[in-house]
A and B are shown apart, each in its own frame.
Chain A
Amino acid sequence: MNREDSGVHPGKFVALGLQLGLLLLVIRQFQIESSAFLRLSLLAFAGFAVHYFLPLRFRLPLFVLLSLAGILLVFGFANSAWLVGFGLLLIAICRLPIALRLRVLLLLVAGGGLAALRSGWLEGPWSAAIWPILGSMFMFRILVYLYDIEHEKGPTSTWRTLAYFFMLPNVCFPLFPVVDYKTFGRTHYDADRHRIYQTGIEWMVRGVVHLVLYRVVYYHLTLAPSDVIDPDSLVRFLVSNFLLYLRISGHFHIIVGMLHLFGFNLPETNRLYCLSSSFTDFWRRINIYWKDFMMKVFYYPMYFRLRKSGPTRALVVSTLLVFGVTWLLHSYQWFWLRGSVPLTWQDGVFWGTLAALVLFNSLRELKHGRQRSLGTTTFSVAQRLSRGLATVGVFLFICLLWSVWTSQSFSAWFSMWDFLGPSRAAQARLFPGYFIGVSLVLFASAALYGRLPVRSEEGPAASGPVPLRPALGTLAVLVALAAAGIPAVYKRLPTSAANAILSVRKAHLSRADTAAFERGYYENLTRVDRFNSQLWEIYMRRPVFHWLSVESGGLVRLTGDFLEKEMVPGFNTETPFGTISVNRWGMRDLDYERLPEPGTYRMAFLGASSVLGWGVEQHENFESLLEAKLNATPLDSTHDRYEILNMAVAGYFPLQQLLVVDKALTFEPQALLYFATDREALRSTWYLSAALRAGRPIPYDYLQKLIGRARIDTATDETTAIKRLEPFKDELLDWLYQSIAARCRGQGVQPAWVFLPSIREGRWAEDLARQSQQAEAAGFLVLDLSGAFDGHAVDALRLAEWDNHPNALGHRLVAERLFAMLQQHPQAFF
């Protein structure tokens, strides 16, 4: 039952507006989520300002209009029309005046059609980007809606229905809490409006804090499984992996907080999930909306159906049903979000284990009861200690289970435990610092705050003034965040603090995800399906057809040997991103004769996609630009023509270049430039382990012996292989560089090692010094192009948000820097 409106209060409105203004500033400064979310927030907060002054009866319609405007803002007119049109069709079916079974049947047919469109079996004039949002809006809420309108007394409100499905924040958040329809209506202005608004702001700020904490965890604490070398790194891996859930809890707080601005006094979505003292407690805290959805639609109906056969049997069957359905619906969710249906053993193990644990706890509670509190009970020291210990145990076990759920493979998960074996990494630490730290924090928190008292002053009768202390606390956090985000402020802080703030001001991939992203170019990455992965979001923003799609269109063919693949000579295609033309020698380059004409200075460039000029026109890549510049501005008087053979192939790792060198030398260049990026040693071990697993012939004695020394074979999983090759990676790179340099010098060719920086500087900067030393020791002339991109923003240099290859400007800068380098070394080259 909704309350009467408490009226306009200019002072309170200004206070709310000030906070929203600061929040908008923070969202912008810290680049919270996407630019679309910033625009949506602006729309929401401006809409709030209008909404505030409207009579109650107009507010819901305005919310609906704002929601539709949000969709238009993000998707544009055509795609919005399709999204909303599909949605209205589904709503209309729900509202048909026919039996429930017939409506369900029609929805299944309509859903099947939409699923066919989502799968790409049928195509249409819309962007694929609408499917995750449409799915997010309807896939679960339609179940709740049907259930509720079936039992609703009185007519179903059209405005509420539209508001429920097209909720304003949903267009930016495909992972969305399953808001209950009845609760959505019941809580609309069910308390003092200013309390509702202030709670919303508080929750949005809390959400932003969660997202900043997520970045701290994601950038600074997460490890790749291959980095787990001792108990402490294992605990760090497990805990940081689980804490990536902060992203979801952050999103959910922002979403529900934003809904509060429009009067929806919805309950919280999660409640101190790290302080769960049992597995049932964890299930009740981690995603309260999902739990309520399961209880309402599956648990209680099944329980009521079975209760005559005994409460225990009914409880067991209903609980197992809930977890079975949760497993299936998670996969169903991923179909709409990603277009694939992952039913994996990891999901089965996770949900099956959690089901067993929750069931055990539930049966125990059924028999022995559970202590609840309204805040007046005093707990003894023994009770607090017991709770603290239970919380630590539950948390660490959940982290362990979570790691299984998010692991790439069974063997990869098991390989994390290698450190328990006889061989131990040199840098392994025995002191379990992380374990002690995490346990102490959790123990203390649970003992002191684990059982929060019920706030009896909340609820429909809450009509007093907005509590001042929480509001001031929220304001303080906003001011602190806003100030911290101002460069003039954080640059005055100590360097470490300033760097810490700088590191979390922007969203980017962690080192582990960057590595996975790169490997995604060369593998069919199927594990980008975990909701806590920023990697998945980048993949989601990638257009369906993009320049990387050309690889599967005949550009590349497999060679069946250690080289793995090569470009197909004569391949030619027009793409929206330019022409891709491969000459008779398998190079994306002009057509040259096998041997240079007299008076020609010829160089061969070896590299991967950046050298190839992926995503730019052929004449825009730095090789072509440099060649043109050399021919226009010769650097020596003995040659009247310059040729550069671009032998780069997208996806080539350092080890593959050995075979490319042999090919390059047949063209009799005077110089061979090997373009290196970061992590050359690690990337060499990646490739060696991948080639071995794929069964490709290993043609070099040294590599065959190395495989034996590292104790890896074709059955060794990736994580284990990389770990076992880790001690040999520098030796491997030395061998590679010496081999290339020796081959070049043996034929009188000047070898040069050129460091090509990535668009994102400093990610693996510690590798550069070592790599260049190794190259110089091997006999290369070292040319360092670091700084080529200085003074230019990342966005101005890269191809797209989801692709950090250099764009035309980036290539031009590289060409200019390389030309300058050649000018500095005329003796070596000319």
Chain B
Amino acid sequence: MDTETIKQQVKSYILREFLPGESPTALTDTTELVTHGVLDSLATLKLVTFLEEEYGISLEAHEVDAEHLNTLPAIAALVFSKRK
């Protein structure tokens, strides 16, 4: 599974779970999910649970930050690196 596929799956999850009613085109690769409040603490933890269950990975507390989760490409890259 490549990062593009992961990215699309994560995007679908985020739109479905946290942004119902939003246009999918509004959520782009540069949308800052953490720093602009889309992924607050509760949403972040839900996303972590989704990523761990969906992709069979295990995330650590220090990986739950803007560096790894702020954008769709960053999330996809994190998941991809964890699956290796």
Where the two chains meet, the residues of A that have a C-beta atom closer than 8 Å to any C-beta of B are 147, 151, 182-183, 186, 267, 271, 284, 295-296, 299-301, 303-304, 311, 315, 362, 365-366, 369-370, 372-377, 454-462
Residue of B21, B35, B61 with most partner-chain A CB within 10 A? B61
**B78 at interface by CB-CB < 8 Å:** no
Interface size class of B (residues with CB under 8 A): 20 to 34
What would 17 A/B residue contacts be, using CB atoms closer than 8 Å?
Answer: A147-B62, A186-B66, A186-B67, A284-B37, A301-B62, A304-B61, A370-B40, A373-B19, A374-B19, A376-B22, A376-B26, A454-B31, A456-B26, A456-B30, A456-B31, A456-B32, A459-B71
- Chain B stretch 38-53: residues in CB contact (< 8 A) with chain A: 38, 40-43, 45, 49
**B18 at interface by CB-CB < 8 Å:** yes
Instruction: Kindly list chain B residues whose C-beta atoms are within 8 Å of the C-beta of A375.
Output: 26
Instruction: Kindly list chain B residues whose C-beta atoms are within 8 Å of the C-beta of A369.
Output: 18
CB distance from B26 to the nearest CB of A (A): 4
Report whether A366 and B32 are in contact in the complex, using a CB–CB cutoff of 8 Å.
Answer: no
Q: What 1/0 flags go to B5-22 for Cβ under 8 Å of A? A: 000000000000011011
Where the two chains meet, the residues of B that have a C-beta atom closer than 8 Å to any C-beta of A are 18-19, 21-23, 26-32, 35-38, 40-43, 45, 49, 60-62, 64-67, 70-71
Indicate whether A460 sits within 8 Å of B45 (C-beta atoms), given known contacts A304-B61, A374-B22: no
Report whether A459 and B66 are in contact in the complex, using a CB–CB cutoff of 8 Å.
Answer: no
Q: When chains A and B are docked, how far (Å) is the Cα of A311 from the Cα of B49? A: 10
Report whether B36 and A151 are in contact in the complex, using a CB–CB cutoff of 8 Å.
Answer: no
Q: When chains A and B are docked, how far (Å) is the Cα of A362 from the Cα of B31? A: 24
Indicate whether A377 sits within 8 Å of B22 (C-beta atoms), given known contacts A454-B32, A456-B28: yes
Q: When chains A and B are docked, how far (Å) is the Cα of A375 from the Cα of B37? A: 13
Q: When chains A and B are docked, how far (Å) is the Cα of A372 from the Cα of B66? A: 18
Q: When chains A and B are docked, how far (Å) is the Cα of A366 from the Cα of B28? A: 26
Q: When chains A and B are docked, how far (Å) is the Cα of A271 from the Cα of B40? A: 14
Q: When chains A and B are docked, how far (Å) is the Cα of A295 from the Cα of B21? A: 29
Report whether A374 and B27 are in contact in the complex, using a CB–CB cutoff of 8 Å.
Answer: yes
Instruction: Kindly list chain B residues whose C-beta atoms are within 8 Å of the C-beta of A461.
Output: 29-30
Q: Count the A-B residue pairs with Cβ separation under 8 angstroms: how many?
A: 79
Instruction: Kindly list chain A residues whose C-beta atoms are within 8 Å of the C-beta of B67.
Output: 182, 186
Report whether B21 and A377 are in contact in the complex, using a CB–CB cutoff of 8 Å.
Answer: yes
Instruction: Kindly list chain A residues whose C-beta atoms are within 8 Å of the C-beta of B70.
Output: 459
CB distance from B49 to the nearest CB of A (A): 8
Report whether B38 and A372 are in contact in the complex, using a CB–CB cutoff of 8 Å.
Answer: yes
CB distance from B29 to the nearest CB of A (A): 8
Q: Which chain A residue lies CB-closest to B64?
A: A300
Report whether B45 and A303 are in contact in the complex, using a CB–CB cutoff of 8 Å.
Answer: yes
Q: Which chain B residue lies CB-closest to A311?
A: B45
Q: When chains A and B are docked, how far (Å) is the Cα of A455 from the Cα of B36? A: 8
Report whether A365 and B42 are in contact in the complex, using a CB–CB cutoff of 8 Å.
Answer: yes
Q: When chains A and B are docked, how far (Å) is the Cα of A404 from the Cα of B40? A: 29
Q: When chains A and B are docked, how far (Å) is the Cα of A284 from the Cα of B71? A: 20
Q: When chains A and B are docked, how far (Å) is the Cα of A267 from the Cα of B32? A: 11
Q: Which chain A residue lies CB-closest to B18?
A: A372
Q: When chains A and B are docked, how far (Å) is the Cα of A258 from the Cα of B52? A: 40
Q: When chains A and B are docked, how far (Å) is the Cα of A136 from the Cα of B1? A: 47
Report whether A182 and B65 are in contact in the complex, using a CB–CB cutoff of 8 Å.
Answer: yes
Contact of B61 among A303, A315, A459 (CB under 8 A): A303
Report whether A304 and B41 are in contact in the complex, using a CB–CB cutoff of 8 Å.
Answer: no
CB distance from B5 to the nearest CB of A (A): 21
CB distance from A668 to the nearest CB of B (A): 78
Instruction: Kindly list chain B residues whose C-beta atoms are within 8 Å of the C-beta of A296.
Output: 62, 65
